[in-house]
Amino acid sequence: MGIRQQTQGYEHPSIINGMNPFSTLQSRYLVLGAYLVSSVAVGLGYAYLSRYQLLPWRWEDPLSLPVLSMATWIAVVSTIAWVGHEYGLRLTYVFGQRWPKFSGLYAMVLVLSLLLFSMGSFSVVFYLVSLVSPAYAAQMLETDLTLIGSDSQYPRLYEAATLFLLVIYAPVVEELVFRGFLLQRWGTKWGLRWGLGTSSVAFGLLHFNNPLGLTLFGLVMGLLYVRSQSLWVPIGCHALNNLAVVILDRFSRLGAGEATDGVTMATIQDRWWMGIILIVISTPLIWRFVWRSWPQPSDDIPYVMNGGMN
């Protein structure tokens, strides 16, 4: 069974007034399929441009990483928007109110708690991984996107592209895909609670460097979406979180000196116990928010609520 279903005498659900298009959209075809195809297509296209020296930088240049990432997810989001439109999906119902009634101060405190928990969980998980597989732990540090572009042919352009990717592009795209689409598709299929859980785990697995911290982050972003019925709230909180990470990374590098690699494996191994402290400090507020915001079994997904559907 493909994405589009057409049989004789069959009326597509998208043209039935008041129906939820997430009841027929298939995430495994649309998101996973679009991501795999886009990754291959963008990679082949990039390789072709590099082979014939049509790129203004080298293939191995660090600038390739943010460029390839943005190009791939542009293709994925475009596919979701195009196929979703065929099914009657309205992005205005996905995004909801642009200026919802939600406390900005509370959102900032919640983001700070998530950031502390994420730092703490990364420290503890990294310490355990380093004991079992030091080589993999070293690779986790090397794949840090916030590294300065000293090895790039265009270091300033690399830094600008990475900053745009982390603070603007990633929050919009990831929230749209994981909360705006996957949460609502799986919430329609299995119930809102399962939709929150599964989309959060998928989000955490995508960020393999810190799956525990990012799974909890994804869960809180999903609850913010459900609670406010506006995708702009998790987008704003996601952007604020990433901006804080970039600022902390910059300060840590300035403190250590630009000639160093910043945080090292030895540093994290020696200070793993600080991760426990950060987790203990941040958990109460996060737990309180999750407990108070956890939906009832009969609650609808934000798309249905924003569209006034039954």
- Predicted confidence band of residue 271 (pLDDT cuts 50, 70, 90): confident
Q: What confidence tier does 142 reach under pLDDT thresholds 50, 70, 90?
A: low
Q: State the average pLDDT over residues 171-179.
A: 96
pLDDT value for 5:
39
Cβ-proximal residues to 184 (8 Å cutoff; 6+ apart), any chain: 22, 94, 195, 301, 302, 303
SS3 string, 191-214, reads CHHHHHHHHHHHHHHHCCCCHHHH
Least confident of 172-186, 208-222, 252-266, 291-305: 252-266
- In the chain, where the domains are located: 92-307
pLDDT of residue 59: 81
The sign of the dihedral angle between the CA atoms of 78, 81, 87, 88 is negative
Q: Which of 40-49, 57-66, 239-248 has the lowest mean pLDDT?
A: 57-66
What's the pLDDT tens digit per position in 219-268?
999 999 999 999 999 999 999 999 999 888 777 766 655 444 456 667 77
Tell me the C-alpha distance between 197 and 219, whole Å.
Answer: 7
State residue 258's pLDDT score.
47
pLDDT of res. 255: 61
The per-residue pLDDT for 150 is: 58
DSSP 23: G
d(CA 224, CA 39): 30
Confidence of residue 7 (pLDDT cuts 50, 70, 90): very low
Most confident of the following: 11-15, 179-183, 264-268? 179-183
